[in-house]
Amino acid sequence: MAPGETPSENPEIGDRVQTGAFFTNLHDWDESDGLGNPLPTLLIHGSGPGVTAWANWRLVLPELARHGRVLAPDMVGFGFTDRPQGFAYTLESWVRQITELLDSLGLEKVNLVGNSFGGAVSLAFSLAHPDRVTRLALMGSVGVPFPITPELDAVWGYEPSLDAMRDLLDIFAFDRSLVTDELAELRYGASIRPGFQETFSAMFPAPRQRWVEALASAPEAIRALPHETLLIHGRDDRVIPLATSLTMLNLIPKAQLHVFGQCGHWVQIEHRDRFCRLLLDFLAEGHPAAL
């Protein structure tokens, strides 16, 4: 928590849930009055300077929560989750955080939705614990090898300044009208909160192709993935190329792919309503009573 902030003042701060040796910041919403999908949906955010679960999912949380319980944690190293000294930020440690979060909440199974970096974590968790995932959705996802794009290299190599943040937001969005001075100032301010940039810059140091590889799951394991899987991608995504979702489509036996035209890396922002309808329909197929 930044100096002077309290949970009531900052919507990015939710509940504190113990996950192993540290506490995870978690948004836990359910506006369905018990009439929605009986299985909780866990949302795993992407990576980026100053990113939080709230920043990633704030526009879709209210709609998704009308249809059932939704959980959105800050992954360790990001947002307002604790940053343990000397912690090793690896795919395995993020998978372990999800496991410990579900255990703390007493949840045996969830629907799992991963965005970008969070897609790689969600895929790895689903492979490690297939019995704890019912349906899987991966949006603009990492998780298979690909040559790092200059834009992803710029995101992971961000050095704090307002101009640098404006440039990054231009990379993320197809619709540049979404990139306002107010948004740039807000996200820049988030990126320089105490501890945020220090952790982020240490997580993906150059050369950065190795981190694409470190977040990838083995192709032979992906071919054995048992879950119904929805792949979502912006056709004009400059950060994570559409080719990654095409690769996953060819590997995952029960996969379907939806591509949004005139859309960059921000599907859930640039096509919010369509994204929610698509995701909710897909998740409801696993629980027909929720349709």
C-alpha gyration radius of the chain:
18
- 270-282 burial, b at 16+ Cβ within 10 Å, e below that, comes to bbeeebbebbbeb
Q: Which residue has the tokens 């255990």?
A: 103
Torsion angle, CA of 181/186/190/192, rounded to 10 degrees? 50
Provide the edge-to-edge strand list for the sheet that holds 255-260. 15-19, 22-29, 68-73, 37-44, 110-115, 133-139, 228-234, 255-260
> Active-site residue numbers?
116, 237, 265
The one-letter amino acid at 220 = E
CA distance 98 to 123: 12
- 179-211 burial, b at 16+ Cβ within 10 Å, e below that, comes to beeeebeebbebbebeebbeebeeebeeeeeeb
Query: Which H or E element spans position 272?
Result: helix 272-285
Query: Which H or E element spans position 43?
Result: strand 37-44
CA distance 82 to 137: 27
Which token pair is 127? 């492979």
> Angle at Cα 44 formed by Cα 38 and Cα 50, nearest 5°?
140
Instruction: Write the CA distances from 147 to 155, 240, 254, integer angstroms.
Output: 15, 10, 26
Instruction: Write the CA distances from 229 to 2, 22, 111, 147, 155, integer angstroms.
Output: 38, 31, 10, 24, 27
